[in-house]
Amino acid sequence: MAGIGFELRRMLRKDTLLGLVQAYAYASVIGSGPWVLSIVGILLIGIFSASVVIPGSLVTQFQTSVTYLVACSLIYTGLVQLAFTRFISDRLFEKRKDMVLPNLHGLLVLVLLGACLLGTAALFIALPGLGLVYRLLMLAGFTLMCGVWVLTVLLSGMKRYKAIVLLFGVSYGLIVVSALLMRPWGLEGLLGGFVLGNYVLLVGMWLLVVREFNPSGPIIAFDFARRAMLYPTLMAIGLLYNLGVWIDKFMFWYFPSTSDAIIGSLRASIIYDLPVFLAYLSIIPGMAVFLVRIETDFVEFYDKFYDAVRGGGSLEYIETMRDEMVYSIQ
């Protein structure tokens, strides 16, 4: 956590109102940047396309399609997000950086292959009878987003918050521009811009990881799949967490009295989706406070506690640092 922590401490050290505002604004962007940029990008595409794409219902179909891509890709990759982060953390602690990139490639192969199979099945179950181009773009979007979430979790574990926000900003800026340029092609044009932007995002994240962990040795490995390194509890937590985030939306989407059919078997709830979006925006200040406190207070005492335990500090000092960690979290 050192990178962002040092930046926040530098801003807070000014001991001015401006420095305080800068620190919390910085933490807001870092803490909630990716998903906020995603939602804002989709909303901008809808706003700018409403007067050009005819009929206007195509914009609603695009936004609903993308929402399902985000939800399903997050739930699916939830199985591996926390477990793989733990695997990478252990390897870095062992000073075995050479294992990171090959195992990332191995995980991406399994995740993307599974996404292709699940996505192909969903095309015939949820989107029967729709155009071939639309269904292929949905499959490509789902597969790409699965890869994006895997790399996002890895980069988050490496505390590359700035890089993540920058990549999401550039990619979703490209999505908005390309979707607007291709909006005369209707729903397929809007979705094509979304797929293009996520392809650029995936490639950019992968290049960032390659730069961090210079390729050496095997190109692909599956060490993370060994029985002793699967961490089934973390796999269950990751899956249930993302399912819990989205399950209420699916309940409103598929309860006839609170939803409308949008495209194929995909439904949306006008009376629920907007309030939930506003509720998510309202938690940004809380996320900023949490990040600032964790990075500036907890990490400082954690580092001292960790160094004391491994370096032979006195029991009194170790207990003091432990208490300070607890107080900062409370």
**Tens digit of each residue's pLDDT (9 = 90 or more) over 49-77:** 666 555 667 888 888 998 899 889 999 99
Query: How far is 24 from 21, CA to CA, in rounded Å?
Result: 5
CA distances from 167 to 107, 191, 246, 249 (A): 21, 19, 25, 28
CB 166 within 8 A of CB 130: no
**Tens digit of each residue's pLDDT (9 = 90 or more) over 94-149:** 888 888 899 999 999 999 999 999 999 998 888 888 889 999 999 999 999 999 98
Which residue is it, tokens 């919390």?
24
- What's the average model confidence in pLDDT over 5-24? 73
Query: How far is 86 from 92, CA to CA, in rounded Å?
Result: 10
Q: Is 312 left (phi over 0), alpha (psi -120 to 50) or beta?
A: left
pTM value is 0.83
Query: How far is 330 from 326, CA to CA, in rounded Å?
Result: 6
**Among 66, 96, 38, which Cα is nearest to 221's?**
96
The amino acid occupying position 56 is G
Query: Per mean pLDDT, which range of 141-150, 197-206, 270-279 is the poorest?
Result: 270-279
Query: How far is 55 from 258, CA to CA, in rounded Å?
Result: 24
CB 45 within 8 A of CB 179: yes
